[in-house]
């Protein structure tokens, strides 16, 4: 008689193998070199067959998305640890994003170098979406405590800001040689300040104008 394996045990085994594959993939690209990630190398490091990789995750792009989602989980916990006031957190979140992008071993830069930029936006669970969610929460808190004027939709502000950052990210990661990290950080601060000034209150506008001018000074050098 054929023994029936409980679904929970089967699923646990599949999940464990999937995690092992993602671990191996993350290890292969840990130095920011996506070219090291081939299906054969991945199967060798993970100790599974190539068909198993395809069955549990998919092709190479799907594996990259899985790594991207895991990075998003780590970033989410880091963003949750930010302790500044709501408006300050908006700047901290943008700066955190740029620090990731401009890191010497940036996975983002390597993905773009291979012409795989769309992979970065293939998942709702990736870092970029999490940065947007964290920014949205900070804007809502700033509105509730009176630091920003009430807006029809905080999401529109977030989408405007994230679209600015995404365009800049594409420019930074494709630049050769890479820009001085101070420049993209100043551009990010400029984008945040410019976005929030539109809905600032009298008490917060001076600080935002100061941040805007500081960023402009850095960008003019």
Identify the residue with better confidence: 167 or 192: 192
Per DSSP, 6 falls in state: P
DSSP structural state of residue 82:
-
Q: For residue range 10-62, list pLDDT tens digits in order.
A: 788 888 999 999 999 999 988 778 889 999 999 999 999 999 999 999 999 89
Confidence of residue 153 (pLDDT cuts 50, 70, 90): confident
Token couple for 187? 């551009």
Q: Do domains 1-58 and 69-220 have the same CATH topology?
A: no
- Residues forming a β-bridge with 200: 148
Bigger pLDDT: 186 vs 121: 186
CATH architecture entry for 69-220: Orthogonal Bundle (1.10)
**Number of residues that make up the chain:** 221
Q: In the structure, how many helices (H) and strands (E) does the chain have?
A: 10, 0
Residue spans of the domains in the chain: they are: 1-58, 69-220
CB proximity list for 217: less than 8 A, separation 6 or greater: none
pLDDT in tens, 127-146: 888 999 999 999 999 999 99
Return the pLDDT at 1. Answer: 45
d(Cα 99, Cα 103) in Å, to the nearest integer? Answer: 6
Instruction: Say which CATH topology domain 1-58 has.
Output: Arc Repressor Mutant, subunit A (1.10.10)
Look at residue 84 and tell me whether its pLDDT is greater than 70.
yes
């Amino acid at each position: 008689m054929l023994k029936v394996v409980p679904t929970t045990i089967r699923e646990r085994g599949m999940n464990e193998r999937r995690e092992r594959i993602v671990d191996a993939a993350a290890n292969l690209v840990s130095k920011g070199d996506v070219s090291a990630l081939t299906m054969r190398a991945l199967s060798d490091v993970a100790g599974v067959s190539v068909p198993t990789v395809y069955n549990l995750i998919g092709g190479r792009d799907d594996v990259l998305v899985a790594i991207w989602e895991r990075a998003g989980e780590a970033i989410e916990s880091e963003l949750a640890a930010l302790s500044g006031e709501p408006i300050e957190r908006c700047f901290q979140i943008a700066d955190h994003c740029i620090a990731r992008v401009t890191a010497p071993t940036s996975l983002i830069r390597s993905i773009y170098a291979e012409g795989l930029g769309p992979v970065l936006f293939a998942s709702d669970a990736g870092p970029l979406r999490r940065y947007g969610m964290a920014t949205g929460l900070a804007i809502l808190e700033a509105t509730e405590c009176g630091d920003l004027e009430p807006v029809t939709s905080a999401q529109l502000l977030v989408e405007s800001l994230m679209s600015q950052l995404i365009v800049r990210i594409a420019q930074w990661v494709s630049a050769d040689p890479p820009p001085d990290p101070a420049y993209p950080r100043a551009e990010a601060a400029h984008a945040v300040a410019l976005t929030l000034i539109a809905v600032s209150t009298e008490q917060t506008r001076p600080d935002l104008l100061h941040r805007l001018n500081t960023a402009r000074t850095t960008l003019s050098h």
